[in-house]
Structure 1
Amino acid sequence: MEERNRKKILDILRVLHESERPMGGTRIAQALNLAGREMSQRTIRYYLESTDQEGLTEPVGRRGRRLTTKGLQELNNASALEKVGFVSARVDALTYRMRFKLRQATGGVVVNLSGVEASRISEAATIMQRVYDAGLSMGQRLLVARPGSRVGRWRVNDDECAVATICSVSVNGVLLSQGIPTSNIFGGLLEMNDHRPTRFTEIIKYEGTSLDPLEIFIKSRMTSVYRAARTGDGLVGASFREIPAPAAEQARLLSARMQKIGIGGIVLVGRPGQPLLGVPVPTDRVGLVVIGGLNPLAAVEEAGISTTNHAMGALMPFQALHPFQEILNKFRK
């Protein structure tokens, strides 16, 4: 297979993988265009015929195609260079698919899916509560599921509890629903001094990585979220985004509304063309600093409790998530 054709097929397979239901050519084209990978419906149909023949996809009546087990293996075997930019594309795709009604506080939000050692869930719950209390989490809601249960399409391992936390991509979805497009610049470690954000000490640009930045920082033990929650000083996960300058005031208002209903997330909104925490911003843009959704799990990992984390793991009804006090108290001894 020619390299150019292979890349296009992988793009189509990724879109199908991210969807919870079969997709036809029109919806695939829309998702690809949103991720900056424009492809005509005719071209997509051509490649789908090829992937059907290779057993990478399968038709599901008039609903379109879905990914097969072989197709998923093909995605997992893609080289690192082919995966570069995958995180950025997934952010865009999930933003497009998110359907959340801010006024009613209903609809789907993007969540991270994590696994925590079941034998240490009580200890983990205590640690996570400290992070939520300190306001270093993305929102005020989460879900904790017991071993062997299901969270969406994900079956929880028998030796783990699953934790679903609100992902910072949900901010993008809310802003887009109000007509504000968001550009994702980088994920990084945000230094907190006396409970205030001061600067980014490490950054990873979304367009140049095949892995979620905060997942990397967590497994590298580079965070100090629990210390930040306890003392006000430490390194926490956060991301930097940009929006059009005319939308700055609206973004501030939306931030307050999101905080009120338990989504939260936006830490700082900059000024048009002005650097934010030392990060330069173009003249017609405004910077946003958004807290990392996996910070509670970073604190758990810091305590030596093993976690597995999948940033941007799924779309989940906001109503399925509950206030952290209500959920975590059930698991604390």
Structure 2
Amino acid sequence: MVTPCPTSPASPATRAGRRDNQNLRAPVKKSRRPRLRRKQPLQALNPCLLPGDSGVCDLFESPSSGSDAADSPAPSTAPRCNSLPGPAQQLVQLDLQTFRDYGQTCYAFLKARENHFHPRESLARQPQVTAESRCKLLSWLIPVHRQFGLSFESLCLTVNTLDRFLITTPVAADCFQLLGVTSLLIACKQVEVHPPRVKQLLALCCGAFSRQQLCNLECIVLHKLHFSLGAPTISFFLEHFTHARVEAGQAEASEALEAQALARGVAELSLADYSFTSYTPSLLAICCLALADRMLQLPHPLDLGLGGHPEAALQDCLDKLQLLVAINGTSLTHMLPRQICEKCRLALSLK
């Protein structure tokens, strides 16, 4: 009788028994590491895009001068003028085919809803908020919105949300800044891909308000406005009139974009001035473009009848805008692209 060698391979029955014993092991739960999402921090704004404060903001001290430098807008030491986008970007900005398909429809729709969203005499029932404090707040929010790299549409929606809420509810003077950053947050949530975080907005206020206070005020603002937020803005009408004049052959694309950039700067100045709240966004937009054409001395000025406004209202708004630019001409040059700085001579064109 031959004894099997210990090193010989096991029989099929033996292998099956071993396999059964292995299956009887208790399962071992693998530790799962938490999945961390990569958070993209706010990228530093190009110094050329932050030339300085605008409008009348240089007349007042920033209410967040003691805030953290990492979260608050920092003063810029860059050159005063920006550069306009190149020809390739101009074609992207002036999408004439989309304008032909939807431009007039969108314009008619928003123009009909303009009066519904237009806040008139927003400070009439405010015992503690004055035109000067409103100017001071918006003069602070303008460089803040530029530091975060937000669009001009966000700034216009912020001002609209702020003024419409002031009509409905009296606001205490010590809560007015919180209302400003809350309106900015609501506006950015509508149009921005990456809106500012609540932590960043609170840091701009020097820690004077808590996160719960901002969230509560956001709910109050949305409730008072009945969640009606899609307001027509100056930014939309500026783009519409720019596309309309290029489509009609009244101006070249480069000239129209230069006028639009200059008109955006003039409109930015008017947002902080309470006297311009009586004008509708479409009226302000066409007057800003008309003043920009006059300052740039374009051969074919914009047709003022394009917006369908009375001639008296157009002339009154133009006179006030011209006075505003004459007073804040130095601040306006901080916002202008380099090409416009070279072409536009404020002192000569406003005489």
Fold agreement, TM-score > 0.5 = no
Structure number with the higher strand fraction is 1
Q: TM-score of the superposition, structure 2-length normalised?
A: 0.28
Q: Which has the higher Rg, Structure 1 or Structure 2?
A: 2
Structure number with the higher helix fraction is 2
